[in-house]
Structures are given as structure tokens and as C-alpha cells.
Chains A and B, each alone.
Chain A
Amino acid sequence: IAGITQAPTSQILAAGRRMTLRCTQDMRHNAMYWYRQDLGLGLRLIHYSNTAGTTGKGEVPDGYSVSRANTDDFPLTLASAVPSQTSVYFCASSAAYQETQYFGPGTRLLVL
């Protein structure tokens, strides 16, 4: 592994189902982030983690939860998916919270 990986690449999900998007980085970065990207809008921060064991809410956290049990992994969970959560989800990481962020390839999620 080199950089950031995300899984799955894409997913079609029925409304009401639970879903976890996975993100793993091998750069030993302290900070990690989850964004969603919707057409015509800028990237919006969902949740972030400045270091393992801590998490924080971003601009659009409702309906999402995260955990950061170790440095490498930062999963994003949708407890009960709704159609408005249809989006492209990007995970990113940076060496520290004030440093340049590097992005994973993204997960395309369609909630029906």
C-alpha cells in the first residue's frame, strides 16, 4: 500500500441500511478527514481526527459517525442511510492538522 486506500470503490445502498466506508493510510499521518463532494458544491467536511483516539465534527456531521482506534484507519459509518447521503466520499490525511491534505481515490455511494 502506498498512500491512502478507500473501500468500496462504489456502492448502491437501500435507504435505511447501515454502511461503513473504510479508509486506510500508510504514511503515518496523524490527521485524517472525511469529506463529501456533491455537484456544484465545494468539498464539505464531515468528521475529522487530529490524532489517534480523538475525533471532531465538521460542517455536515449529521447521520455520520467515525472512530479512530489507531493511526492508520478512519472508518465512516452511516447508521441509517438516506437518499440525501448519495455523494462521492473522500478520505484525506495530513502529517498534522495544519499541513497539506492528501486524498484517497473516493467512494461513490448511491442511496435509493
Chain B
Amino acid sequence: SQKIEQNSEALNIQEGKTATLTCNYTNYSPAYLQWYRQDPGRGPVFLLLIRENEKEKRKERLKVTFDTTLKQSLFHITASQPADSATYLCASSKDSGYSTLTFGKGTMLLVSP
């Protein structure tokens, strides 16, 4: 069955540094991967989507890579700020178009001033 894994340990970094979060998938080839941010008591908020034929996607301070050989996506936040502290979720879908998402458990990011 489809499996998405994210590092369950919280990531603690200093303000201004680059945060890098990892998402690994097994047993399938996703059509795309998505990254969401979730704050306590809130619903996930979409950040970025990267397709299987794309190597890298950027949006402001965010960057996502997709390595189909390593079966891995990396999510980077450059010049991190305390306001970036949240749980970041990786999600994938087998197919493009209407398709259900398989989520990882998320990685909590804590950015210290």
C-alpha cells in the first residue's frame, strides 16, 4: 500500500537559518507531492505542489524538490522566522485529476528567535 514517511522528530532551528524537511514514499510512484502547513487546532493550508516530471518548485522563501530515484521530496524554508513554526505535512496522490491524498504524519518545525 502507499506509504508516506516524514521525520517524526521536531526540527529546531535558529531564526535566519534554512529549514529542510524530508518526505519519503514507498510502494508506488506518485503523480505529484504536495506540502501543507498545519497550525495547532487549525486545518492544513496548501503551500506547494510538485509533479513527478518537475525537479524543483519555488514560492517566495519556500522550495520543494522531487527526486524520483531516491523516492524523496525535500521542503526548504530559507531565512526562517519564528512565524514559520508549525507542523508541515507531505501528501501524495497516485493520479492527477480528482484523487484522494495520502498524508505523512507531519514534522513539527520550531524556529527560535
Do A and B truly interact? no
